[in-house]
Structure 1
Amino acid sequence: MSEPLVLRDDADGVCTLTLNRPDKRNAINRELFREFRAHIRDIEEGVGDAGLVVITGAGEHFCAGHDLKSPPHADALGWLRQEMLIVERLTKLRQPVIAKVRGTCYTGGLELALAADFIVCGTSARFADTHGKWGLVPGWGLSQRLPRRVGQAKALEMMLTCQPYSGEEAAAMGLANYCVADEALDAKVAELTALILGNSRHSNAENKRLIYDTDGMGIAAGLNHELMRNAGFDPAMRKKGEPIAAAKRAV
């Protein structure tokens, strides 16, 4: 039986999904994507005890994007829509999502990383949008998420030049939250996950929802949304002032 194309590991509230085609720099084909979709559905349905999700790649690379050597789907547009909807569902998970990036993070791989809430990379990371090299346009949200991360001018620069950017450059432009030495990457992600999981899962989920739901709203509409769609206190809190650690596993 062949090895899974997406590995799932759960430990201490962290669900790690690892793209597992290291010989192809974790390029995404339909079989890999189907496995990825199944894992996202499981997380949505509460399979396991995930308070946070980490997306990464096996070996030395995060993801080289779509595998352009794979034969196209008979309904290419319909399949692209399925992919786009699953990537959007990754963003909408109640759990915070971290993309842990080493090596190549190109095109579809960059779109996948952008769908995460945080990008943490090593100095070996290289980020690029190469749609233009292949006569393609984004279909996983890059034209929307990239300018929201780095600004319109920098997003256009990345998309129109197709040039790669280092991990340090990614952090400087705000594409990555942190860039550290490769050998320190696991420790940095562990530090960040510990900080996040040390807080209420209820608060983490609702704060994330408020940020995304009000994206693009004017201040008045955003304030009204925060008030009228407020989820209130963590139901696991037994009394005001109790340490969050006692309730942090509540969803």
Structure 2
Amino acid sequence: MDQPKPENLILMTREPNGIAYVTINRPRSLNSLTKSMMTDMARAFKSLDRDESVRVVILSGSGRAFCSGIDLTTAEDVFKGDVKDIESDPVVQMELCRKPIIGAISGFAVTAGFEIALACDVLIAAKGAKFIDTHARFGIFPSWGLSQKLARIIGPNRAREASLTATPVTAEQGERWGLVNHVVEEGELMKKAQEVALAMIKNNQDLVLRYKSVINDGLKLDLGNALALEKERGHEYYKGMSKEQFKKMQEFIAGRGSKKPSSKL
């Protein structure tokens, strides 16, 4: 007698247009994460990073939530496991992923789910979405960056209030504070995420990857060192270009100058 196949809790698909999709697919548990789901998610992002046909990744959750955090019935297995194993750490693999990651957030992004959202490069949120940090409420210590990243994005005072009170940050508040790029109707969420993804795909892919890298790496430094990093990578980039590449760049820019500007997002 055949055994039933285990449910695929992390879905990964690739489209011919260069967009890949990663979906947290445990809707009956509000997409709470088990250890095996975390490992599968980490492997998915590592695989997409290596796939040269993939230009942008859209991350979402199925059902009523983006991700409600760690499944607390498996908490000890998660928190006392090999926390230094980057191969099974989805946030580390998202941060190592060279491709831009767009988070499509509907419902709740709670605690670990909030941290996964913060590992995205751009956030699109549906109206009614909420970001909630419950670390302080449940006695869980943050380890995927929430205590550091949120303050850098929305400011330390707002971050302290959100984290120390466990008060939800709505999609609309998040947009005002610079956490969320766009707030849209629920039915328009994936359409907007795809629109932003396609706008990225239209650009020079090598430069998109380099630009994401220099922004994200620079955010880890003080301004002086970040500016030096930009200059260093800029010189490295131009030094590696041939005369033919410079000529093509000039021809491309000249050709673009004769066209009408494209519409904004």
**Is 1:39–2:44 an aligned residue pair?**
yes
Q: In the alignment, what sits opposite 2:161?
A: 157
CA shift at 1:242, angstroms?
Answer: 4.7
Unaligned stretches of 5+ residues in structure 2: 254-265
Residues of 2 paired with 1:36 and 1:104: CA distance? Answer: 19
The TM-score normalised by the length of structure 1 is 0.88
- TM-superposition CA deviations, 1:76-109 (whole Å, max 9, x none): 4443333695412312311111110000111000
Contact 1:80–1:139, Cα closer than 8 Å, also in 2:
no
The TM-score normalised by the length of structure 2 is 0.84
**Is 1:116–2:120 an aligned residue pair?**
yes
**Is 1:23–2:28 an aligned residue pair?**
yes
**What is the alpha-carbon root mean square deviation over aligned residues?**
2.3
**Is 1:191–2:200 an aligned residue pair?**
no
Contact 1:5–1:31, Cα closer than 8 Å, also in 2:
no
Q: In the alignment, what sits opposite 1:143?
A: 147
Q: In the alignment, what sits opposite 2:13?
A: 9
Select 1:134's aligned residue among 134, 138, 141.
138
Cα 1:204–1:72, aligned 2, differ >3 Å: closer, same or farther? same
Select 1:240's aligned residue among 249, 257, 264.
249
Residues of 2 paired with 1:196 and 1:34: CA distance? Answer: 28
Quick one: percent identity of the two aligned structures? 28
Q: In the alignment, what sits opposite 1:201?
A: 205
What SS does the corresponding residue of 1:232 show, helix, strand or coil? helix
Residues of 2 paired with 1:60 and 1:124: CA distance? Answer: 11
Residues of 2 paired with 1:35 and 1:19: CA distance? Answer: 10
State how many pairs are aligned.
242
CA shift at 1:38, angstroms?
Answer: 1.4
CA shift at 1:217, angstroms?
Answer: 3.5
CA shift at 1:218, angstroms?
Answer: 4.2
Select 2:82's aligned residue among 65, 75, 79.
79
- Which one has a bigger Cα radius of gyration? 2
Unaligned stretches of 5+ residues in structure 1: 245-251
Residues of 1 paired with 2:195 and 2:27: CA distance? Answer: 26
1 or 2, which has the higher helix percentage?
Answer: 2
**Is 1:70–2:79 an aligned residue pair?**
no
